[in-house]
Amino acid sequence: MKHPSPTAGPTQATGAVRPVYDAFISYSQRGDKAVARALRTVIQTIGKPWWKVRSLNVFLDATSLSAAPSLWQGIADKLDRSRYLILLASPEAAASKWVDREVAHFIAENGIDRLLIALTDGELAWDEDIHDFRSDAALPLPPSLHGRFAEEPLWVDLRAFRDDPALATKSNQGFLHASLDLAATIHGVEKADLYSEEVRQQRRSVRLAYGVAVVVAGLGIGAGIAAWIATTEAERATRNFAIAKGTVDDVVFDIAQGLREVEGMRLESLRTILDHVEEAVSRLSEAAADDTDIMRSRGAMLGEFGDTYRAAGDRSSALAAYRESLDIAETLAATDPANTLWLADIGVNLSKIGDIELQRNNVEAALEAFDGYLATARKLTALEPDNTTWRRDVAIGLGRIGLARMAAGDGDGALDVQEESLALHRELAATDPDNTLWQRDIASILENMSGALELTGDLEDARATLAESIAITRRLHDIDPGNALRWRDLALRLLRLGDLDTRLGDAPAALAAWEESLAISRSLTTIDPENAFWQHDMAVALQRLGEARMANGSAPTALPLFSESADILKRLAALDPEDDALHLEAAFGLQRLGDANAATGDTAAAISAYEEATGMAETVLADRPNNHAARRVVVVCRGKEGDTRLRSGDPDGALASYEESLVAARMLLAADPRNAVWQADAAETLDRIGNLKLEGDDAGAQEAYGEALDLRRALVAADPGNPDRLRALIGGLERLGYLKARAGDGEAAIVLMEEIVGAGRDLSDVAPDSDGDRMQLAGNLERLGHLKMVLDDAAGALSAWQESVGVWRALVDAAPAEPGRGRKLAGAFANVAWASLFTGDLDGSEAASREALALVPGEAVFLTRLAHALMLAGRIAEADAIYLGRRGTMVGDRSWEDVVVTDFAALRDAGVSHAHMADIEEIFSGSDAAPTEPTATD
């Protein structure tokens, strides 16, 4: 790319006519209309003082000369009054006789030195040997330029923006700097000086920019309509009508695109301006209802309005504008099904509609729009099989369908169409390996395929595919290191790579990817500190690194990362008060900052961060009370605030925070009672409230625990195989069961314990390899048995304890060397032995006692169980050997004698007795003799 020094200053063209346009843009409407408009907008406003409408006056014809050749004389007049010609070079422009005619006319009057070139498609390669561009069939220059150059002219590369014109704004550094190259030459100043002036002007007050936008809108559209009315009232000549329409087109597109550059404008004001514009243009359309050129202009206007609304975050208005534009395009195409221009308009609108529906999570509507986009691209390809733009659209359409299928959770379906898309992109790239745009397409579809693979659970292939995408992106960056768009591509893909490495358990690789991404974003922001996209990328990378530090237990090192991220997001949110998503992102950043402060012990700073996050969410809710994402921020942050207050010794403050969280959670559940996330939020908050009310307010605690339990039951009913939900249900049942038992409500406690055991059985089935869950089940079976014994249900107790034996035996078999498991199994056998005494199964009691003693020989409690079974079976001598042999020993902090006598009392209370009990009691009460040594029976 050649960048000659700017001329000393603007000079007047040869001839008597004084130039009124600084530049004339010549382009093919077939592929470059959107880029031409964007280029005109940026060039006209670069370095513009606040008090001027534009810094340069650039002419852009919105009419189609092929449709209205009678307008040529008006175009020639504009060319004669223009100092520079900017040619948007592309294969379509090279093939257009009207572009060739415009170029030939201009250089005949002004010479070749005032021609500037912006490449939008194809390749330009300067050959020093022939002092001209290499000529081949794909040369994107019209015939009038072949062999006309003595040295390489100024040309800039805009190919990255042709298929995604939404990126062609001042906020995109690649587009801005290409525009600066052209504008500096036209201004006759150094590029660096013009850029400095642009940065200074951009930083003027938001209020002043807003005021200028409104004035330009009001005066511009009024002038445009007035010009048309004046000419039509004076005469109805076709030429004057078309020129007036062109004036209106210019004003409309200036307003629509200009409003996208104004920061701080409220949506209500934006809608008012665009509604007035549309009303005026509609009157023009009604005056010539059958004029297809006017119809298409109105459709293009609506498309521009859609882009403006979309940039402002008003998706509903954008969608309505795109749909109306689509209706116009379909009406036109119905009159001429082979008109590729009108078919292309259909495809563009369908693609934008699909994008918005996907952002709104209307997946079915998005799929319908993308299917239509793909069908239109295939129809265009059938009409012009060699047209690479249409073939590329087919590949892009398949990729869009893949994204929608991913959003629907259909990873396999997404892969099917993405693989087809990748094959088409590779096929195109093979025909022109140096086409960097097509290489970027391949990198993009590989990234999307990585997402689909991740969705299917194939993380290794997902990472390998993303790595291939990143390798291509690095090559593209190396080819053009100054291209900020490619640099940003690399930063964003590295973020995703770090996420995948985290899921694969490779924390060092994840950190390396995120750190590189952050370094790129920092470098970009040094180029343009005001670029909101790069600032946002940096904030995300900082959050990822902070979360990694937190996961490693290093909250102090995470704290500055979260702090910087939160500051960036707050600053971005302040610049765009209407962007709810950005405000909620900032609130989430503050939440993470609060978590880090809490982890470092700075409770005051943590509470402050949580309160600020809640405040940001409540600001959104003040205007949009149905914003559920904002409401959930309140739920989560108030809950965390309560946790922090509780840790700092402020239970009253904690309870107040929890109750505010609960109010918000109940509002969410009122909107959607079956939302699982909101149900879980409410249940956790209720449990916290119940925990605080345990001391002094049993009724309040029971009420909170009971409501939480109902929510957890509903969650399990909706997804019975979800282990986390089963665990949460068990925890809730245990809390309420404890409270019932403490209140002396044994019947209710048993009912809850039986439900706990049932949920534990289900959990063991769902997660059979979780030893912790199975141990919990065994412990709950033990507690259930004890409760049943208290309520004189020995048979029920025996059943629970026998099941407990089965659970512990399986755990021992799975890990025989695991310490403690054998003793737990022995204890379970001892429980079975005890319950069997009450049911009359003395053989079973003896067998269980001996199993317990085999596992833990000599255990005193186990010996009592065996002695009782032997005595009740009439085997007195064997029983006495144990009873008398252990006299004088201790069982924990109790004497052996006390343990035995207490057991006898429990047996008698249940109606289980033997005459020998009195003998033993008498011996124990009257003997002071030293205990005998245990016999072999022991």
Does residue 213 have a pLDDT over 70? Answer: no
**CB neighbour class for 505 (10 Å; exposed up to 12, middle 13-18, buried from 19):** exposed
Determine how β-strand 894-895 pairs with β-strand 890-891: antiparallel
* Residue whose pair of structure tokens reads 């995300």 in the numeric block: 540
Does residue 193 have a pLDDT over 90? Answer: no
pLDDT for 278: 61
Does residue 15 have a pLDDT over 70? Answer: no
Summarize pLDDT for 722-781 with one digit per residue, the tens.
999 999 999 999 999 988 888 888 889 999 999 999 999 999 999 999 999 999 999 999
pLDDT for 243: 46
Summarize pLDDT for 141-158 with one digit per residue, the tens.
888 887 788 787 878 988
Contact 34, 177 (CB under 8 A): no
Does residue 476 have a pLDDT over 80? Answer: yes
Determine how β-strand 82-89 pairs with β-strand 21-26: parallel
Does residue 239 have a pLDDT over 50? Answer: no
126: part of which helix (H) or strand (E)?
Answer: strand 126-127
Phi and psi at residue 153, in whole multiples of 5°?
-80, 170
For residues 801 and 54, the model is more confident at: 801
Does residue 212 have a pLDDT over 60? Answer: no
CA 336 and chain centroid, separation:
42
Q: Which of 585, 484, 567 is nearest to 170 (CA)?
A: 484
pLDDT for 265: 46
How distant, in Å, are the alpha carbons of 40, 55, 86, 109 from that of 115?
16, 20, 6, 12
Separation of alpha carbons 738 and 745, rounded Å: 10
* Residue whose pair of structure tokens reads 């005459």 in the numeric block: 915
Separation of alpha carbons 73 and 155, rounded Å: 28
Rounded to 5 degrees, what angle do the CA atoms 885, 890, 891 make? Answer: 100
**DSSP characters over 433-448:** TT-HHHHHHHHHHHHH
**Residues contacting 155, CB < 8 A, separation 6+:** 1, 2, 89, 116, 117, 118, 119, 124
Q: pTM of the entire structure?
A: 0.66
For residues 681 and 579, the model is more confident at: 681
Angle at which helix 628-647 crosses helix 651-671, to 10 degrees, equals: 160
Q: Which of 484, 493, 486 is nearest to 514 (CA)?
A: 493
Does residue 216 have a pLDDT over 50? Answer: no
Summarize pLDDT for 850-898 with one digit per residue, the tens.
999 999 999 999 999 999 999 999 999 999 999 999 999 999 899 999 9
pLDDT for 364: 94
Confidence tier at 938 by pLDDT (50, 70, 90): very low
